[in-house]
């Protein structure tokens, strides 16, 4: 083979190699374009918001607006028909038991007819019966308080020995405080009954010994407290029984919250209550009772609702809530259930699936449907009894684009 032949062979080899390189490059470019087309046509992952299930405290409350109310209040009324002098007292003034609140000049004797005399006699009889009833209530309240004190003492001893839980001691202490409040209220009622009797007797005395027209009768306060309202401020003629002044003790407040009857059945006596948005720091209280009789109220939407009052005692010293007065608005959160170590999820993660509930769990980069069994729900979080473990990541607010097996990407 000559030298020229060798050169020709080399040039031919180079040309063949160049052709193969071009073909390979073209093939790679084609594969790349094909891959780009495939990727472009593949469904993109759905961007979702997620939350991680965890163990923690869950509190279920009944949230309603309420108002403060003086526990024991009394409306001082005119014992008989006459001319009342101008009342100089103002709301907020302090009054002592027996202090004169109003001065009344009875009408002259000719106007005191037989019918009025019989009415006065009936008021005396009714007042005597009320005083006897008040005395019986005091005796009953004293017996209940003595029993609750013994129970509280025994419970504290059992707690110290570790026989019963601390919550039992709290419940016994609450019972003792409630019985003490009942005794105080009964004593207040006895004072009021005695005052009613004295006023009724004084009115009847005007018939027995009417004297001269213009004799003045003093109307005293049956209890110590503060003036809540002056009903008859100006001088003028009033009828027997007409309200004059309202007296009470603002330091003895209770909170009244009207709740739906469907919620009331879950509220237990002694339930813990948080009182917020009254103008100061959050206050703590306890449910004393749920009244036995409900009433109908029309909601803002025009729907008739059956509601009942829950009465709450404050568990705070007076200095902490002294700015809270009679008739003030509060927001009450009545705790009906709480758990300290429960598996929970945001309520927004759940959706209906058949007759039950389910969530979307993120497994890898896909969404998977997981049926769950739920427990208590406070509107924001829900207790999970089965189907989810602590640490599982779930999708919250799932859209209609999320389905079982769909690729997802979470923030």
pLDDT score for 110: 46
3-class SS of residue 259:
strand
- 351-353 and 329-346: which strand pairing? unpaired
Between 117 and 207, name the one with better pLDDT.
117
Domains of the chain: total: 4
pLDDT given at position 347? 94
Q: 233 and 94 in one domain? A: yes
Count CB-CB contacts under 10 A for residue 396: 17
pLDDT at 392 over 80: yes
pLDDT in tens, 370-382: 999 999 999 899 9
The mean pLDDT of 221-238, rounded to a whole number, is 88
> 373 near 395, Cβ under 8 Å?
no
Residue 350 lies in a domain: yes
Full-model pTM: 0.70
CATH code at position 321: 2.40.30.170
Geometric angle at alpha carbon 329, from 327 and 330, rounded to 5°: 130
Is 276 in the same domain as 301? yes
Give per-residue pLDDT as tens, 124-148: 677 677 778 878 888 888 888 888 8
Q: Which of 40-44, 76-80, 179-183, 310-314 has the highest mean pLDDT?
A: 310-314
Q: What's the CATH number where 385 sits?
A: 2.40.420.20
Question: Has residue 18 got a pLDDT over 70?
Answer: yes
Q: Are 269 and 311 found together in one domain?
A: yes
Do 198 and 123 lie in one domain? The reply is yes
Q: Mean pLDDT throughout 210-219?
A: 65
Which is more confident, 14 or 80? Answer: 80
List the domain range (segments joined by +) for residue 299: 60-67+251-339
- pLDDT for the residue numbered 117: 65
Mean pLDDT of the chain: 84
Q: How far is CA 341 from CA 58, 272, 344, 357, 382, in A?
A: 8, 19, 9, 22, 13
**Are 117 and 203 in a shared domain?**
yes
End-to-end CA distance of the chain: 73
356 and 329, same domain (yes or no): no
- Is residue 285 within 8 Å of 66, Cβ to Cβ? no
Cβ contact 314:328 at 8 Å:
no
Mean pLDDT of 328-347: 94
Domain co-membership, 305 together with 347? no
* 174: Cβ contacts below 8 Å, ≥ 6 apart: 270, 286
C-alpha–C-alpha distance, residues 272 and 229, integer Å:
32
Statement: residue 266 has pLDDT above 60: yes
Q: Among all chains, which residue has been given the structure tokens 């059956």?
A: 306
The tens digit of pLDDT for each residue in 66-96 reads 999 998 888 888 887 888 999 989 998 999 9
What confidence score (pLDDT) does residue 388 get?
92
pLDDT at 383 exceeding the cut of 70: yes
| pLDDT band of 49, cuts 50, 70, 90 | very high
Q: What is the pLDDT of residue 207?
A: 57
| pLDDT score for 155 | 84
Indicate whether 100 and 220 sit together in one domain: yes
Cβ contacts of 188 within 8 Å, gap of 6 or more: 72, 74, 223
Domain assignment present for residue 4? The answer is no
Once rounded to an integer, what is the mean pLDDT over residues 169-192?
A: 76
Q: Extract the tokens encoding 64.
A: 């309603």
Same domain for 222 and 264, yes or no, is: no
Q: Considering only residues 177 and 83, tell me which one the structure prediction assigns the higher pLDDT.
A: 83
Same domain, 308 and 381: no
Q: For position 40, what pLDDT does the model report?
A: 60
């Amino acid at each position: 083979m000559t030298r020229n032949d060798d050169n020709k062979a080399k040039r031919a080899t180079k040309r063949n190699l160049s052709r193969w390189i071009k073909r390979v490059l073209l093939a790679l470019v084609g594969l790349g374009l094909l891959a780009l087309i495939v990727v472009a046509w593949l469904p993109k992952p759905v961007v979702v918001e997620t939350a991680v299930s965890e163990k923690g405290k869950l509190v279920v409350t009944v949230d309603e607006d309420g108002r403060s109310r003086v526990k024991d209040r009394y409306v001082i009324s005119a014992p008989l028909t006459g001319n009342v002098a101008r009342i100089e007292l103002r709301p907020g003034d302090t009054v002592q038991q027996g202090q004169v609140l109003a001065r009344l000049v009875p009408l002259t004797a000719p106007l005191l007819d037989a019918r009025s005399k019989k009415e006065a006699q009936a008021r005396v009889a009714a007042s005597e019966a009320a005083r006897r009833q008040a005395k019986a209530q005091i005796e009953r309240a004293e017996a209940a308080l003595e029993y609750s004190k013994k129970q509280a003492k025994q419970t504290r001893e059992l707690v110290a020995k570790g026989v019963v839980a601390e919550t039992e001691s709290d419940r016994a202490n609450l019972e003792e405080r409630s019985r003490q409040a009942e005794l105080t209220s009964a004593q207040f009622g006895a004072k009021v009954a005695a005052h009613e009797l004295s006023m009724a007797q004084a009115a009847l005395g005007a018939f027995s010994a009417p004297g001269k027209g213009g004799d003045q009768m003093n109307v005293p306060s049956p209890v110590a407290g503060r003036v809540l309202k002056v009903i008859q401020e100006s001088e003028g003629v009033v009828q027997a029984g007409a309200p004059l002044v309202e007296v009470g003790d603002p330091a003895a407040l209770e909170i009244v919250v009207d709740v739906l009857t469907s919620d009331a059945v879950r509220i237990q006596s002694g339930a813990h209550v948080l009182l917020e948005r009254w103008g100061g720091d959050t206050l703590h209280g306890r449910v004393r009772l749920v009244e036995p009789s409900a009433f109908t109220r029309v909601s803002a939407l025009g729907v008739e609702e059956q509601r009942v009052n829950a009465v709450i005692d404050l568990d705070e010293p007076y200095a902490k809530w002294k700015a809270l007065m009679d008739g003030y608005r509060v927001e009450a959160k009545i705790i009906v259930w709480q758990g300290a170590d429960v598996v929970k999820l945001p309520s927004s993660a759940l959706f209906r699936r058949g007759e039950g509930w389910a969530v979307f769990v993120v497994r890898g980069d896909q969404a998977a449907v997981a049926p769950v069994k739920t427990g208590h729900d406070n509107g924001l979080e829900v207790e999970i009894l089965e189907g989810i473990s602590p640490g599982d990541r779930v999708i919250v607010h799932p859209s209609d684009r999320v389905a079982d097996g769909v690729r997802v990407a979470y923030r």
